């Protein structure tokens, strides 16, 4: 198996210059093969959505970190045909979630005791999020207003998705529980979730609450594990017929 962990745009160039034997499986962690328009035979590597396709895949495109957190927060709605026409999403990420190249905004002396928004309504992960969710519910165009925030912590993503629904909370929670039954790393929580529950693990914790018609779905992941290398290992396990959780029995920094 070959893991491609280079910057965005470099994986496709590498494969053009260096043909890989057909017997070698590939897992790419860049955005080069996530969209259908340039995916070729790459399968989108979100196990909670494509587990069986990943099992038979030779090439897998690992999802983005924000994409993973947002999709796992909204996937049950899309699968049930209940994704609202408009969803507002506010997400905050740690300093390690900003790619490989150091910048002033990723330097911890800038981020400590500080918050700032960036790429408002235009984050690069929106394309794959919209494509995945719209593919599950063709009647919805997946209008997602996403505001990403640079956090003052090192690692971890918290995403809050807000939308209106006429359905009651117990029905929504049951829908989420059914969607993630049998998936070892996505856990429904009856209590509000926080980053320390998932940092240093491959887990995604999801919590749903409601006030009147307003619904809030909160999802938390470690951007370096479930949002990157941990999910890549999870995909490798599926591709090679190993136990899905192999090598990923990691404890949270708070337990």
Q: What angle do CA 233, 237, 242 make, to 5 degrees?
A: 150
Rounded distance between C-alpha atoms, residue 5 and residue 147, angstroms = 26
Beta strand pairing status for 26-28 and 43-44?
Answer: unpaired
Q: Which residues are catalytic?
A: 65
Give Cβ neighbours of residue 22 (< 8 Å, ≥ 6 apart): 58
Rounded distance between C-alpha atoms, residue 87 and residue 164, angstroms = 8
Rounded distance between C-alpha atoms, residue 144 and residue 198, angstroms = 25
Residue with tokens 């690992």: 62
Phi/psi at 136 (5° precision): -90, -25
CB distance 1 to 25 below 8 Å: yes
23 closest CA partner among 2, 40, 44, 4: 2
232 closest CA partner among 26, 9, 8, 23: 26
Helix, strand or coil for residue 132? Answer: helix
Rounded distance between C-alpha atoms, residue 46 and residue 235, angstroms = 8
């Amino acid at each position: 198996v070959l893991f491609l962990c280079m910057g965005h745009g470099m994986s496709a160039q590498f494969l053009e210059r260096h043909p890989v034997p057909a017997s070698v499986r590939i897992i790419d962690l860049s955005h080069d093969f996530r969209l259908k328009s340039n995916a070729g035979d790459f399968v989108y590597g979100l196990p909670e959505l494509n587990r069986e396709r990943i099992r038979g895949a030779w090439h897998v495109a690992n999802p983005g970190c924000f994409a993973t957190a947002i999709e796992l927060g909204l996937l049950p709605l899309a699968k049930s045909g209940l994704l609202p026409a408009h969803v507002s999403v506010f997400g905050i990420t740690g300093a390690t979630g900003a790619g490989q190249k150091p910048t002033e905004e990723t330097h911890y002396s800038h981020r400590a005791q500080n918050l700032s928004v960036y790429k408002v309504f235009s984050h690069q992960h929106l394309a794959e999020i919209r494509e995945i969710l719209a593919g599950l519910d063709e009647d919805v165009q997946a209008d997602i207003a996403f505001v990403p925030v640079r956090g003052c912590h090192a690692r971890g993503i918290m995403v809050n998705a807000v939308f209106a629904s006429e359905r009651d909370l117990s029905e929504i929670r049951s829908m989420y529980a059914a969607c993630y039954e049998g998936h070892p790393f996505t856990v429904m929580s009856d209590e509000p979730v926080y980053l320390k529950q998932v940092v240093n693990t491959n887990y995604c914790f999801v919590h749903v609450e409601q006030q009147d018609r307003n619904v809030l779905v909160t999802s938390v992941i470690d951007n370096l594990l479930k949002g990157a290398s941990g999910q890549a290992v999870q995909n490798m396990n599926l591709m090679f017929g190993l136990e899905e959780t192999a090598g990923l029995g990691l404890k949270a920094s708070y337990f």
